[in-house]
Structure 1
Amino acid sequence: MTTSEKKKASSKAAQKSPIKAGTKPNFKSKGPTRLDQLQELITREGGASISEMVEATGWQQHSVRGALAGALKKRGLAITSEKIEGVRRYQATAPAQ
């Protein structure tokens, strides 16, 4: 393929692009992420147990714990845990500033 043929091919590809220059694509919202679901569970009254969070997200236990210790703390949540009737429950509050 010669250089002029490459230029023609690339200009044709640019013409077929459904997105015009300078405009943003119109993506539909996918809804809440799994981290959003975890945040909702642990900020509700009474918090949530690991088994409830595993069921809600489909993640394994170690992944839920990692999300609590990492991503959710980075969101500014103060996460506490308490053992109630033999079940550890996690609860989050926004830190005092």
Structure 2
Amino acid sequence: MTRTAKNNAPAKTTKPKRKTKASIVEALLERKDGSSLADICKATGWQTHSSRAFLTGLRKKGREVVRYKNDKGASIYKLTTLDTGEGGA
């Protein structure tokens, strides 16, 4: 029996998506309640100024990052979707 190229090809496996610090922070910011700066620092090991700089970088890339105060007075950051106004009535 002869083998065809189809039979000799190795099976494709999907690699799990690489978990970067940036993807971790974005996941934290996409949560329903957002994330505090302390949570971001703890999850990434970054200092506060580095975490704030990352948030600024997201804004420069066109992502909308909102900040609000929770009931304890702590700042909470959250990614929101931008409403471009296209496709509306």
Judge same fold: TM > 0.5, yes or no: yes
Look up the match of 2:55. 68
The list of structure 1 runs, each at least 4 consecutive aligned residues, that deviate by more than 2 angstroms after superposition, is 73-76
User: Root-mean-square deviation (CA), in Å?
Assistant: 1.7
Instruction: Return the letter of the residue paired with 1:63.
Output: S
Instruction: Return the letter of the residue paired with 1:78.
Output: E
Query: Aligned equivalents of 1:29 and 1:73: distance in 2?
Result: 28
- Percent of residue pairs bearing the same amino acid type: 35
Report the 3-state secondary structure (helix = DSSP H, G, I; strand = E; otherwise coil) of the residue aligned with 1:38: helix
Q: Over alpha carbons, which structure has the higher Rg? A: 1
Across the two proteins, how many residue pairs are aligned to each other? 69
Assess if the C-alpha contact under 8 Å between 1:76 and 1:94 holds in 2. no
C-alpha distance after superposition, 1:3-28 (max 9, x if no partner): xxxxxxxxxxxxxxxxxxxxxxxxx6
C-alpha distance after superposition, 1:13-58 (max 9, x if no partner): xxxxxxxxxxxxxxx6672211111111011101000000000000
| TM-score in terms of structure 2 length | 0.69
More helix by share: 1
Consecutive unaligned residues of structure 1, counting only runs of 5 or more, are 1-27
Instruction: Return the letter of the residue paired with 1:38.
Output: V
